[in-house]
Structure 1
Amino acid sequence: MDDVKALLAPLPHHLPVCPNTRLILVAIRRMGAHGLADARAAHVFIAAFGEGFRRPLILMRALMADLAAAAADTIAIAPCCCARMTAAEQALVAILARVETALEGARLLLADLLSTRRVDGVLASAAAVAACFADEGRPISR
């Protein structure tokens, strides 16, 4: 039993149930591992949004670039094939789900994730992604 706990420690959270949140998670993992111009991440957005894929894809790329620039430490991201999430991925999902309704909670989570107090630019990017998904009928929930 201790072996199972040791294996699950780096990936403590279950995958989100919401398909929109899973889409975000795939984008985070693909762009985090393979760069902002990852073709598979773009394909996922094309399949999900159809002709209106450009806005959510560009905003997601901007968010990922802002996260990378603002982070004081590395952000743990699991490979795409993993059936569980890291604590950092869970925090990102929670930030995107809360940013429109609980801004201060999202700000605190983001400050903890990035290990910095100056998160307003990244928070604005997260709000833009969440609003874009909601505008397209794909609200992000936990």
Structure 2
Amino acid sequence: MAHSHDSTALDLPLPARRHQTLGLVLVRRLAGHGLHDARATMLALDASGTEFRRLLVLARALVVDLARTSRRKILLAPCCAAGMTRDEGLLMAMVGGGGLDVHGVLTEDAACTDAMATAHALGEELDRVATRNAWRR
């Protein structure tokens, strides 16, 4: 069944912050190319150095949690796309600390909050990476 939010249009701009864009690209790569994608690993390694595993594991866990708990298809753009789908905007809002309302719209399952907890942990790790790399100004 198609929903009005099943658009593949890139309605939203990419995130304004480098660490948020990194999180989006990691999720796109892992969801589109598999949980053991080498380029996603290299992105995490480049951003986090020797502590890359934490970032990579959290991104993988988020992809798995969303796939396991979502009651609908979540539409992601290709890795190199110059914008975000509505679903990706909701995903980034959840990674940024969004609550049950955002989670419920994204997954159509507000009762199962596994993906929300993982998204918040990923958001905290992305913030830590941004601070470590002086990406925030």
- TM-score range with shorter-chain normalisation? 0.7 to 0.9
Runs of 4+ in 1 over 6 A off after TM superposition: none
CA pair 48-122 structure 1, distance change in 2 beyond 3 A: same
Q: How many Å separate the matches in 1 of 2:103 and 2:26?
A: 18
Q: How many Å separate the matches in 2 of 1:138 and 1:77?
A: 27
Q: How many Å separate the matches in 2 of 1:78 and 1:36?
A: 17
Of 96, 100, 107, 1:107 maps to 100
Question: Corresponding residue for 1:134?
Answer: 127
Is the aligned partner of 1:69 residue 2:68?
Answer: yes
CA pair 56-84 structure 1, distance change in 2 beyond 3 A: same
Quote how far apart the aligned CAs of 1:137 are: 4.0
Question: Corresponding residue for 2:34?
Answer: 35
Question: Corresponding residue for 2:10?
Answer: 11
Quote how far apart the aligned CAs of 1:9 are: 7.1
Is the aligned partner of 1:81 residue 2:94?
Answer: no
How large is the RMSD of aligned CA atoms in angstroms? 2.0
Residues 20, 138 of structure 1: 8 Å contact kept? no
TM-score (norm 1): 0.82
Deviations 1:21-72 (Å, cap 9, x if unpaired)?
1101111110111111111111100001111101111111111100110111
Residues 8, 77 of structure 2: 8 Å contact kept? no
Quote how far apart the aligned CAs of 1:81 are: 1.8
Question: Corresponding residue for 1:57?
Answer: 56
Specify the SS of the correspondent of 2:10: coil
Specify the SS of the correspondent of 1:53: helix
Deviations 1:86-141 (Å, cap 9, x if unpaired)?
00001111111124xxxxxx2111111101122321111112112222334449x9
More helix by share: 1
Q: What percentage of aligned pairs have identical amino acids?
A: 34
Unaligned runs of 5+ in 1: 1-7, 100-105
Question: Corresponding residue for 1:90?
Answer: 89
Quote how far apart the aligned CAs of 1:80 are: 1.1
Q: How many Å separate the matches in 2 of 1:50 and 1:126?
A: 21
Unaligned runs of 5+ in 2: 1-6
CA pair 131-116 structure 1, distance change in 2 beyond 3 A: same
Question: Corresponding residue for 2:47?
Answer: 48
TM-score (norm 2): 0.84
Q: How many Å separate the matches in 2 of 1:53 and 1:23?
A: 13
